Amino acid sequence: MINLELPRKLKAQANQAHQVAAEIFRPISRKYDLAEHEYPVELNTMAAMVEGMTDAGGDIGGAAGGRDKNSEDAPKPSKTANANGGNMSALVNVIETCWGDVGLTLSIPYQGLGNSAIAAVATDAQLERFGKVWASMAITEPSFGSDSAAVTATATLDGDEWVLNGEKIYVTAGERSTHVVVWASVDKSKGRAAIKSFVVPRDTPGMTVARLEHKLGIKASDTAALLFENCRIPKDNLLGSADVNTDKGFAGVMQTFDNTRPLVAGMAIGVARAALEELRTILTDAGVDISYDAPSNSQSAAASEYIRLESDWEAAYLLALRAAWMADNKEPNSLQASMSKAKAGRTATDVTLKAVELAGTFGYSERLLLEKWSRDSKILDIFEGTQQIQQLIVARRVLGKSSAELK
């Protein structure tokens, strides 16, 4: 059974993350929304703090959730025990920081989405090498979006080095990170099974930033297009095994999403909660009475709509908790990770846009952050797999269909 009461350790970490969100993120949120591509220098002071918390077994931003240090030596949780490890810690923390600002959360040093890829599939030796880097993740290409199996970038083994060629777009923290986790094919003739992930240090010759994207939201976060032209990296920078197993497919690299999708769900949950709290204040000040003791259809339209939004938020929150809990308890969570991502992404866009609508002129103006949150939330329903992709994955898992059988 899942224990839905957060333990004291996680509560303490969540409280610390909330203080970061309230005292650092919220005050500068509008500043960096208006100054796209300008690096948030205020985050420099957090780098040492994040590293200290990581050494202590936690993290502030949460994007680096995944395998705990020494997890291979730790006993597997018993069927009656509840383990709350790196995934659950990352989830509750990212909910709090995204309550402050999603773009700034994605800009926290050493907490990139690529760190989750490293945690998911790296060997113990690779964890020692890359455990404390700031890694972004490069998957999407100009020819595809959510179909990760359509990777065209290549990696060719030349002696003791891999040679990477290709183009990646929409790489979150692609300019600022110290390393990039790149998805590329080692043998195109073998299809998706040959897709592997590689760790590329920022200063590697042959990797360049082609441009930075101008975006609808999360403007505090840099989003880059990267070019790889005969980019050479050491042979052991390939994460996990180099063997191509056509029976297994590319389940190894896809395991990354089992870690990151609940975290993206947490980001959506955080910004949606911020909008709900702001909306509740506005409605209360306007004299709208919201009662949980009376049927929603007997209350005002605004109160009824608020209750609907809040119930959707609660469902998204519980789904994300379940997906993270399953990961920490060594249970396969691919279905639950996609369910949480689909529900939270859809809920966040619904909540934030409806908050703008119900708040009237306050919602549409820049006097409050409601309009910004509505812009920031949309990406959370897109990256790490769109709403449609998540529903397709859920359908395959529920119906027992392969990707070839259900497209």
Q: End of a domain among 237, 272, 307? A: 237
Query: Does residue 46 surpass a pLDDT of 80?
Result: no
> Are 126 and 147 members of one domain?
no
Is residue 405 included in any domain, yes or no?
no
Query: Does residue 77 surpass a pLDDT of 60?
Result: no
> Are 60 and 99 members of one domain?
yes
Residue 193 has a pLDDT of 86
> Are 260 and 379 members of one domain?
yes
Is residue 36 included in any domain, yes or no?
yes
Active site residue 371: no
Query: Does residue 70 surpass a pLDDT of 50?
Result: no
Q: End of a domain among 85, 104, 130? A: 130
CATH number of the structural domain spanning residue 42: 1.10.540
Query: Does residue 74 surpass a pLDDT of 80?
Result: no
Residue 393 has a pLDDT of 93
> Are 106 and 166 members of one domain?
no
Is residue 123 included in any domain, yes or no?
yes
Residue 73 has a pLDDT of 45
Summarised one tens digit per residue, pLDDT across range 385-397 is 899 999 999 999 9
Is residue 334 within 8 Å of 258, Cβ to Cβ? yes
Summarised one tens digit per residue, pLDDT across range 305-332 is 999 999 999 999 999 999 999 999 989 9
Q: By percentage, how much of the chain surpasses pLDDT 90?
A: 71
| Mean pLDDT score across all residues of the chain | 89
> Are 106 and 228 members of one domain?
no
Picking from 169, 50, 167, the residue whose alpha carbon sits closest to that of residue 115 is: 50
> Are 390 and 258 members of one domain?
yes
pTM of the model: 0.91
Query: Does residue 166 surpass a pLDDT of 60?
Result: yes
> Are 256 and 392 members of one domain?
yes
- Confidence label for 49 from pLDDT (cuts 50, 70 and 90): low
Is residue 244 included in any domain, yes or no?
no
Beta bridge partner(s), residue 196: 184
Summarised one tens digit per residue, pLDDT across range 213-266 is 999 999 999 999 999 999 999 999 999 878 887 655 555 567 778 889 999 999
Summarised one tens digit per residue, pLDDT across range 254-301 is 777 888 999 999 999 999 999 999 999 999 999 999 999 999 999 999
Q: Tell me which of 73 and 340 has the higher pLDDT.
A: 340
Residue 205 has a pLDDT of 98
Is residue 99 included in any domain, yes or no?
yes
Residue 131 has a pLDDT of 86
The tally of domains found in the chain comes to: 3
Q: Tell me which of 70 and 201 has the higher pLDDT.
A: 201
Q: Under DSSP, is residue 224 helix (H, G, I), strand (E, B) or coil?
A: strand
The label of the residue with tokens 């970490």 reads: 13
Picking from 136, 228, 241, 230, the residue whose alpha carbon sits closest to that of residue 193 is: 241
Picking from 275, 376, 406, 388, the residue whose alpha carbon sits closest to that of residue 341 is: 388
Beta bridge partner(s), residue 166: 228
Calpha distance 115→90 (Å, rounded): 12
Is residue 351 within 8 Å of 276, Cβ to Cβ? yes
Beta strands in 188-261 (DSSP E): 195-201, 207-212, 223-234
Residue 53 has a pLDDT of 53
* Residue 93: domain span: 8-130
Is residue 3 included in any domain, yes or no?
no
Is residue 166 within 8 Å of 152, Cβ to Cβ? yes
Calpha distance 250→7 (Å, rounded): 36
Summarised one tens digit per residue, pLDDT across range 320-363 is 999 999 999 989 999 999 999 999 999 999 999 999 999 999 99
Query: Does residue 80 surpass a pLDDT of 60?
Result: no
The lowest-confidence range among 50-59, 95-104, 218-227 is: 50-59
> Are 142 and 255 members of one domain?
no
CATH number of the structural domain spanning residue 228: 2.40.110.10
Q: End of a domain among 202, 237, 272? A: 237
Of the residues 38, 229, 384, 405, only one is catalytic, namely 384
Query: Does residue 72 surpass a pLDDT of 50?
Result: no
> Are 256 and 381 members of one domain?
yes
Q: How many CB atoms lie within 10 A of CB 143?
A: 11
Calpha distance 264→17 (Å, rounded): 16
Summarised one tens digit per residue, pLDDT across range 105-130 is 999 988 888 988 888 888 899 999 99
> Are 255 and 387 members of one domain?
yes
Is residue 171 included in any domain, yes or no?
yes
> Are 107 and 15 members of one domain?
yes
Is residue 331 included in any domain, yes or no?
yes
CATH number of the structural domain spanning residue 297: 1.20.140.10
> Are 215 and 264 members of one domain?
no
Q: Tell me which of 119 and 399 has the higher pLDDT.
A: 399
